[in-house]
Amino acid sequence: MRETQAIIERVRRVNETHQQLDLAVDPSLMQLKPGQFLLARVGDDWTPYLREPWWCVSMGKDTLTFERPATSHYEPGQVVNLLGAVGQPFRFRRALRNVLLLVYETEPAPLLSMIPSLLTARVSVTVVLLGNAALYTTSHLPPEVEVISGDADMNWSNRVTTVGWADQVFVVVPQADELGHFSRIWDLFTQLRAEIPSGYLFGVFRPLLPCGTGACSSCMVRTKNDNLLACTQGPTFDLTRVLLG
C-alpha cells in the first residue's frame, strides 16, 4: 500500500447524477484489479476528514477512470492524494458465463470496475438497479451490458430467471445498515433458489475506513469462522460465510 499523487486530466458528466475523472496516476497503480479501490483526498482542506473510497471504473493506457457523484466539483489539473490499492480483487469462478450485478438503493460504482474485463472474457453481464439506484441512467455503459430496473421491494421482471441463470452475483447496498440490507438480499435469494452455494452470492462491504491498512480494526466483518477486515481481506465477502443476524 502506497501513498501517491495523481493529476486529474479530464472531467466529464456521464449522466444526471455522476461524472467520470481520468487521472494520470503513479505507474504502480496500473496494477489495480477489479474489486480493489483507492482512498482519496483532494486539495489541502481535506474535507471530509476521512479519505473517500474511489472506485476505478475503467483503465486506459496510463490513466485510471473514477466515477464520482456529480455534486462534487473537480477540475483538470487538480492534484489527488491516493492511498492504495486497498482490498482484494473480486474472486471469479473459472468457468464463468453469466454475472449478475445487483445495486440496491445506492450507486453502482463499486461493481462497474469488473465490467470491462468480464466483457473481454466474453462473460455476459446483467446489472439490476433497484429502488433509487434506478435513477442512475446507463447509456454510457457498453451496449453488451443488460440493464434491468426494479423497485425498492426488490421486484424486477423475470426475477427467478435472472437469479437462476447467474453463475455469480455481486451486490452493493447502502452503507447505513449494511448488514440489515445484506440480510434482506439473503432472504430474497433463499426464496428464489433451492440453495445458495458458496462462491455464488457476494456482498461488497463499505464501512468507514479510518486507516485502510488493517491497523484500527474498525472495519471488521463477522463471519462464521473469523472476524475479517474489510480493508485488507474484503471488501467483497461471500455472504454464505458472513454472520448476517
What is the binding site for ligand FES (CB under 6 A)?
A: 209-212, 214-219, 229, 231
Euclidean distance between CA atoms 194 and 216, whole angstroms = 39
Q: What is the three-class DSSP state of 22?
A: strand
Residue 151 Cβ, how far from ligand FES at the closest point, in Å? 34
Which is nearer to ligand FES, 160 or 216 (by Cβ)? 216
**165 closest CA partner among 118, 112, 98, 115:** 98
Q: Which three cell numbers stand for residue 122?
A: 466474453
Q: What's the CA gap between 101 and 166, in Å, rounded?
A: 9
CB of 68 to ligand FES, least distance (A): 21
State the Cα torsion 167-240-127-221 to the nearest 10°: -140
Per DSSP (E only), the strands in 136-218 are: 146-150, 168-172, 201-204
Closest CB to ligand FES among residues 190, 218: 218
CB of 153 to ligand FES, least distance (A): 33
Judged by DSSP in three states, 242 sits in strand
Q: Closest distance between ligand FES and the C-beta of residue 25, in Å?
A: 22
C-beta closer to ligand FES: residue 123 or 209:
209
Q: How far is the CB of 86 from ligand FES (least distance, A)?
A: 9
User: How far is the C-alpha of 214 from the C-alpha of 99, rounded, in Å?
Assistant: 30
CB nearer to ligand FES: give 18 or 51: 51
Q: How far is the CB of 79 from ligand FES (least distance, A)?
A: 24
Position 178: which residue type?
E
Q: Please identify, using beta-carbon distances, which residue of 215 and 243 lies nearer to ligand FES.
A: 215
CB 92 within 8 A of CB 168: yes
Shortest separation between residue 180's beta carbon and ligand FES, angstroms: 21
C-alpha cell at 232: 485488507
Between 152 and 215, whose beta carbon lies closer to ligand FES? Answer: 215
Q: What SS3 state is found at 24?
A: strand
* Residue with Cβ nearer ligand FES (149 or 223): 223
**Residue of 243, 106, 222 lying closest to 173 (CA atoms):** 106
